């Protein structure tokens, strides 16, 4: 995957600079200790032009992540959104993935940072809207205990857990991992939230041990509009295996159908599931189609 070329421009500390000329100090605390916060955001080429989906929610979560980790966040969110649109324009990007990162200056100690840096880059990312179905393995790695780190923050260091779970799932021949929480309840995928369908209702793990996904929130909002009952609660592996269907959701993945979890294959045809209905509606929503909630 090529993230940039010699023409790519990114935003760093208030300036637009060539990606090839961006530098970081190798003594920075973020590199050594994973002490940084980031976001993953999407833009879509809509009939209203290029639109960043839920830009404000993402930058607010970035701010919250920094606050929870005592990383200074000194930027104005509306200004950052403006500069992000500029990054897309300068790089001629329409369907893109946008990566803001707040990182910390050089310090080999473990005191909190007193200043921070902000970088925003973007690269092309075609929407794929659920074109594949995943075989999912339950990870032997748990999601971090919320008493050891603020799990609702998108902190770089947390993602070692995600990398380990992904590596294990791939080694076991699965496409993706599903992690449980410290009490063995269903939590989330390494980079996505999960919903299951049972008897015409949707269920998703309650907040507390997961990243509060912006896609998850958007799906819950769509459920209200579509009159689909959606219940947030603790879910066991047995609940999962008794489900009629299941899907992952996240900014990058959008909505992805789960074909099987370990030895349990979901027999309901994907096109007959609530996930498929939500996927059609989600796609219309991000593309800003009018009356997107009307199912046809």
Residues forming the site for ligand PMP (CB under 6 A): 40, 188, 191-193, 211, 213-216, 250-251
Q: How far is the CB of 108 from ligand PMP (least distance, A)?
A: 28
CB of 187 to ligand PMP, least distance (A): 9
For the purposes of burial, counting CB atoms within 10 Å of the CB of 120, is it exposed (0-12), middle (13-18) or buried (19 or more)?
Answer: buried
**Comparison of 188 and 197: residue with beta carbon closer to ligand PMP:** 188
State yes or no: is 94 an active-site residue.
no
Contact 259, 134 (CB under 8 A): yes
Q: How far apart are CA 258 and CA 125, in angstroms?
A: 22
Residue 214 phi, psi dihedral angles, 5° rounding: -75, -30
Shortest CB 214 distance to ligand PMP, Å: 3
CB of 44 to ligand PMP, least distance (A): 14
Nearer to ligand PMP, 126 or 272 (CB): 126
Q: Please provide the distance, in angstroms rounded to a whole number, between the alpha carbons at the two ends of the chain.
A: 37
Beta strands at 117-124 and 9-12: parallel, antiparallel or unpaired:
antiparallel
CB of 159 to ligand PMP, least distance (A): 7
Provide the token pair at 253.
């993945």
Which is closer to ligand PMP, CB of 217 or CB of 287? 217
**CB contact at 8 A, 149 and 143:** no
Residue of 33, 44, 97, 42 lying closest to 71 (CA atoms)? 33
State the minimum distance, in angstroms, from the CB of residue 18 to ligand PMP. Answer: 27
Cα(78)–Cα(84) distance, rounded to whole angstroms? 10
Residues 132, 135, 154, 198: which is the catalytic one?
A: 154
Nearest CB to ligand PMP, comparing residues 10 and 177: 177
Cβ closer to ligand PMP: 17 or 57? 57
Q: What is the largest CA-CA distance in the chain?
A: 58
Distance CA 49, CA 193 (A): 29
DSSP string computed for 193-250: EEEEEETTEEEEPPTTSS---HHHHHHHHHHHHHT--EEE----HHHHHT-SEEEEEE
Classify each residue of 62-98 as buried b or exposed e, where b means 16 or more C-beta atoms within 10 Å of its C-beta.
bbbbbebbebebebeeeebbebbbebbeebebbebbb
Nearer to ligand PMP, 137 or 191 (CB): 191
Active site residues: 154
């Amino acid at each position: 995957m090529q993230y940039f070329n010699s023409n790519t421009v990114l935003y760093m500390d208030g300036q637009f600079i060539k990606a090839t000329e961006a530098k970081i100090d190798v003594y920075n605390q973020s590199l050594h200790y994973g002490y940084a916060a980031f976001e993953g955001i999407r833009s879509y080429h809509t009939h209203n032009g290029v639109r960043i989906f839920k830009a404000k929610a993402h930058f607010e979560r970035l701010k919250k992540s920094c606050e929870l980790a005592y990383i200074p966040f000194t930027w104005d969110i509306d200004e950052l959104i403006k500069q992000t649109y500029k990054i897309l324009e300068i790089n001629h990007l329409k369907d893109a993935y946008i990566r803001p990162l707040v990182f910390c200056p050089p310090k080999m100690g473990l005191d909190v940072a007193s200043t921070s840096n902000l970088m925003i880059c973007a690269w092309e990312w075609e929407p794929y809207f659920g074109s594949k179905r995943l075989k999912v393995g339950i990870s032997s790695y748990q999601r971090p205990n919320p008493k050891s780190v603020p799990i609702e923050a998108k902190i770089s260091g947390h993602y070692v857990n995600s990398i380990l779970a992904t590596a294990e799932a791939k080694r076991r021949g699965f496409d993706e991992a599903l992690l449980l929480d410290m009490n063995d309840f269903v939590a989330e995928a390494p980079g996505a939230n999960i919903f299951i369908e049972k008897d015409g209702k949707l269920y998703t793990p309650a907040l507390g041990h997961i990243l509060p996904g912006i896609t998850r929130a958007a799906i819950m909002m769509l459920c209200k509009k579509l009159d689909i009952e959606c219940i947030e609660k603790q879910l066991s592996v047995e609940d999962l295996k008794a489900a009629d269907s299941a899907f992952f959701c996240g900014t990058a993945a959008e909505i992805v159908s789960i074909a099987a979890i370990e030895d349990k294959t979901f027999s309901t045809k994907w096109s007959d599931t609530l996930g498929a209905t939500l996927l059609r509606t989600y796609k219309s929503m991000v593309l800003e189609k009018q009356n997107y909630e009307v199912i046809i």
